[in-house]
Amino acid sequence: MIKISSTRISVGQFYHAPPLVVWNLITDTAKWPIWGPTVKGVQLPERFIRNGSKGRVLTVFSIWVPFEIVKFEDGCFWSWKVASISATGHLIQPSDGGCNLWFEIPIIAAPYFVVCQVALNRIQNLISESAGTNR
């Protein structure tokens, strides 16, 4: 699913999983290198992000870059700045039988939607593995 506005592009996917399961996957920094194609590692004092969390991500280019969680609504939304630049937002919307996860990308970074689509598919694989299914 793709939505486009004048300021951002959103790419999303429906999961047959409770919103809390998806939320825990996307806020657990130990899982970021598993589902995030551009993340090889994370350094953060705590495992799960929260509002104001500050840390570093190791990019696929083997460069450590600082990040900060700038918006955080527990259970439904978080966004961050990476190297002081506004990056993706992460939105969970409950839906019948599961939830939708949306990655919101600034329009200037629209081609990044391809990376986000890969991440959404990897998250689906993690959900399926944890449920013991191959949806």
- What local confidence, expressed as pLDDT, does residue 131 receive? 73
- What local confidence, expressed as pLDDT, does residue 133 receive? 53
Residue 92 pairs in a beta bridge with 101
Q: Tell me the domain boundaries of the chain.
A: 2-107
- What local confidence, expressed as pLDDT, does residue 123 receive? 98
pLDDT per residue rounded down to tens, the chain (135 residues): 989 988 999 999 999 999 999 999 999 999 999 999 999 999 999 999 999 999 999 999 999 999 999 999 999 999 999 999 999 999 999 999 999 999 999 999 989 999 999 999 999 999 998 876 544
In terms of C-beta density within 10 A (0-12 exposed, 13-18 middle, 19 or more buried), how is residue 134 classed? Answer: exposed
- Category of 88 on φ-ψ map: left (φ > 0), alpha (ψ -120 to 50) or beta: beta
> Looking at residue 18, what DSSP letter applies?
-
- State how far the alpha carbon of 8 is from the alpha carbons of 17, 35, 41, 50, 112, in Å: 26, 22, 27, 23, 11
C-beta separation of 10 from 102 below 8 A: yes
Its pTM surpasses 0.75: yes
In terms of C-beta density within 10 A (0-12 exposed, 13-18 middle, 19 or more buried), how is residue 18 classed? Answer: middle
Helix pair 19-27, 113-131: axis angle to 10 deg: 120
The residue type at 60: V
Q: Indicate the class that CATH gives domain 2-107.
A: alpha beta
- What local confidence, expressed as pLDDT, does residue 132 receive? 67
- What local confidence, expressed as pLDDT, does residue 130 receive? 82
